[in-house]
């Protein structure tokens, strides 16, 4: 019998790609999303790719009664993949309580409901932000690298939620969890039927690059070119969102079907760092499209360089990020072209 997986935030960027991979791996998918940062049409895209329309519930996870209604409506949910969260670093500094309420209350409600409805496992989407700026000797960062104090309320909610899951399992709760710490997810599904659709001015590099290339934004600013890196710009570990999605399927399988420790942690990245300048230049090379860009001053709160050691995920989950950077950037451009074709932007 097919196992049913609840995907919170399933119409978002990473959630939608993971829903596709789960369906293609043979799971039933139920999506919960309040559409605060995504659109209902994403469900159509998932259906077009997979031939299966996932169940969809427009529910705010802060509302425990409404959330419990989903567990009652879909008995036999085996696992949860929890993406739903507010995620703009800058906004979290302006509206900290909104972020604490959204990101923490939603998790607590889900954890409380899990034993009651015999839900065995939860995959939590955490972030490499928990590592802060690693010391040079800790690069690439392993799962055992020390955590630094978060530089934003958003980052802090990831750290707090990791602790909440640990404390709950430590207290004897009969659930299991895998915490995935992502690096920088980019790109779009090769079909260009789903992708990253930010509201307003993009806070992330790749949508800003593609929108500038399209002429929606006048110019891209690379913040800082005097960092202690080979070309002076910041370094990140950019991972294709479709590769990242596959890691969730591997993690879900491990939690549900294998005898493992009740809580495990994995870095999910490529194991390589690329600079902001390299990304822009590789995008131009991959697409043949020029990007109008300039250097600007450093941006407060930016980490200088981070990339992950993903050996543990490679070995234990049997998963590896495989898509070459040029292909990833090409997929992002294909998605931007599709948005233009559809009259979205």
Domains of the chain by residue range: 4-187+240-270+308-322
> Tell me, what's the pLDDT at 247?
98
> Tell me, what's the pLDDT at 163?
98
Q: Which of 306, 314, 183 is nearest to 238 (CA)?
A: 183
> Tell me, what's the pLDDT at 246?
98
Q: CATH classification of 4-187+240-270+308-322, choosing from 3.40.50.720, 3.20.20.70, 1.50.10.20, 3.10.110.10? A: 3.40.50.720
Catalytic residues: 154
Q: Integer distance in angstroms from the first to the last C-alpha of the chain?
A: 42
Collect all residues with Cβ–Cβ distance below 8 Å to 51 and sequence separation of at least 6: none
> Tell me, what's the pLDDT at 262?
98
> Tell me, what's the pLDDT at 134?
92
Binned average pLDDT, 10 residues per bin, the chain of 345 residues: 95 97 98 95 98 98 98 98 91 94 98 98 96 93 94 93 98 98 97 91 92 97 97 98 98 97 98 98 98 94 92 98 98 97 89
**209 C-beta neighbours (distance < 10 Å), count:** 27
- Sign of torsion over alpha carbons 148, 152, 158, 163: positive
> Tell me, what's the pLDDT at 65?
98
């Amino acid at each position: 019998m097919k196992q049913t997986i609840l995907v919170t935030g399933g119409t978002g960027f990473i959630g939608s790609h993971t829903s596709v991979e789960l369906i293609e791996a043979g799971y039933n998918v139920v999506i919960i999303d309040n559409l605060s940062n995504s659109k209902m049409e994403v469900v159509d895209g998932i259906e077009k790719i997979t031939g299966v329309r996932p169940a969809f519930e427009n529910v705010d996870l802060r509302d425990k009664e409404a959330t419990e209604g989903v567990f009652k409506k879909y008995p036999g949910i085996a696992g949860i993949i929890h993406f739903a969260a507010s995620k703009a670093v800058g906004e979290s500094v302006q509206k900290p309580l909104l972020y604490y309420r959204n990101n923490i209350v939603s998790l607590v409600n889900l954890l409380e409901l899990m034993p009651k409805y015999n839900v065995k496992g939860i995959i939590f989407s955490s972030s490499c932000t928990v590592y802060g700026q690693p010391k040079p000797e800790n690069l690439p960062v392993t799962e055992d690298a020390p955590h630094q104090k978060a530089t934003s309320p958003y980052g802090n909610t990831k750290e707090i939620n990791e602790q909440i899951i640990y404390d709950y399992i430590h207290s004897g709760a009969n659930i299991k969890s895998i915490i995935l710490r992502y690096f920088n997810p980019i790109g779009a599904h090769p079909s260009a039927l789903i992708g990253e659709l930010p509201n307003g001015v993009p806070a992330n590099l790749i949508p800003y690059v593609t929108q500038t290339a399209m002429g929606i934004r006048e110019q891209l600013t690379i913040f800082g070119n005097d960092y202690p890196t080979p070309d002076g710009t910041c370094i990140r570990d950019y991972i294709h969102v479709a590769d990242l999605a596959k890691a969730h399927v591997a993690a879900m399988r491990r939690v549900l079907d294998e005898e493992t420790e009740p809580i495990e942690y994995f870095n999910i990245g490529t194991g390589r760092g690329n600079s902001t300048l390299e990304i822009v230049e590789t995008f131009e090379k991959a697409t043949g499209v020029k990007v109008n860009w300039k250097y600007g001053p450093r941006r407060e709160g930016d980490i200088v360089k981070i990339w992950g050691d993903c050996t543990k995920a490679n070995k234990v989950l049997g998963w590896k990020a495989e898509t070459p950077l040029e292909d990833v950037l090409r997929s992002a451009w294909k998605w931007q072209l599709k948005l233009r074709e559809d009259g979205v932007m």
